[in-house]
Amino acid sequence: MLHLRKLILFSTCMVMIFSFSCSKEIQKQSIPLDDPDSDNKEKMLLEYQKEGFISPDRYRVIIVVPAEEKCDDLNEMRRKARQRAVLSLRKYLMSQNIPVTRNAQAYILNVVNNHGSLKRHQTSSSSRYCFFFDITKDNLKYNLDHIEQQR
């Protein structure tokens, strides 16, 4: 009986110690996102360089090519960029649970071929080249989101 009381007392103490240690407030160190030395222009540039919808009227695909590969043939880069843009827009539709029908595929091809433009972006790195392929069309995001309703 005495042995049982000691065991219960010990178990109760262990539970209390465990509950106190678990209930301690954890302090997380936050990493400041805003560096006071960086200017707003650089922040805007980084935000503008994201891939996907930049605005409801502009969709961007970023292509990075190692410096070892020659980027002299702009037509070849344009072909690669168009192919990547088509795949990226299809992936966007699938992520929105919109079926990629023949009409949707035709719309994507039309938009990429008629409203896409390739621009070379200057980077500070000499080990790679960066290209932006922008698709600019009024209400592009709305039209893609409602592609299954269009005929």
Distance between CA 119 and CA 60 in Å, rounded?
A: 11
111 found inside a domain: yes
What CATH number is attached to the domain comprising 68? 3.10.28
Show the tokens assigned to 99. 């079926």
Residue 85: its pLDDT value, please?
95
Residue 118: its pLDDT value, please?
92
Distance between CA 117 and CA 123 in Å, rounded?
A: 19
Q: What is the tens place of the pLDDT at every residue in 25-48?
A: 444 333 344 444 444 445 445 555
Residue 94: its pLDDT value, please?
92
134 found inside a domain: yes
Strand partners, 55: 58
3 found inside a domain: no
Residue 14: its pLDDT value, please?
60
Domain total in the chain: 1
Q: How would you write the pLDDT of the chain (151 residues) with one tens digit per residue?
A: 666 666 566 666 565 555 555 544 444 333 344 444 444 445 445 555 678 998 999 999 988 888 777 666 788 889 999 999 999 999 999 999 998 999 999 999 999 999 999 988 776 667 777 889 999 999 999 999 988 776 5
9 found inside a domain: no
Distance between CA 144 and CA 99 in Å, rounded?
A: 11
Residue 7: its pLDDT value, please?
57
Range of the domain at 74: 57-149
Show the tokens assigned to 11. 């178990």
Residue 89: its pLDDT value, please?
95
Supply the DSSP string of the chain, one letter for each residue.
-HHHHHHHHHHHHHHHHHHHHHHSPPPPPPPPSS-TTS-HHHHHHHHHT-SEEEETTEEEEEEEEETTS----HHHHHHHHHHHHHHHHHHHHHHTT----HHHHHHHHHHHHHHEEEEEEP-S-SSEEEEEEEEE-TTHHHHHHTGGG--
72 found inside a domain: yes
Is pTM beyond 0.75? Reply is: no
41 found inside a domain: no
27 found inside a domain: no
19 found inside a domain: no
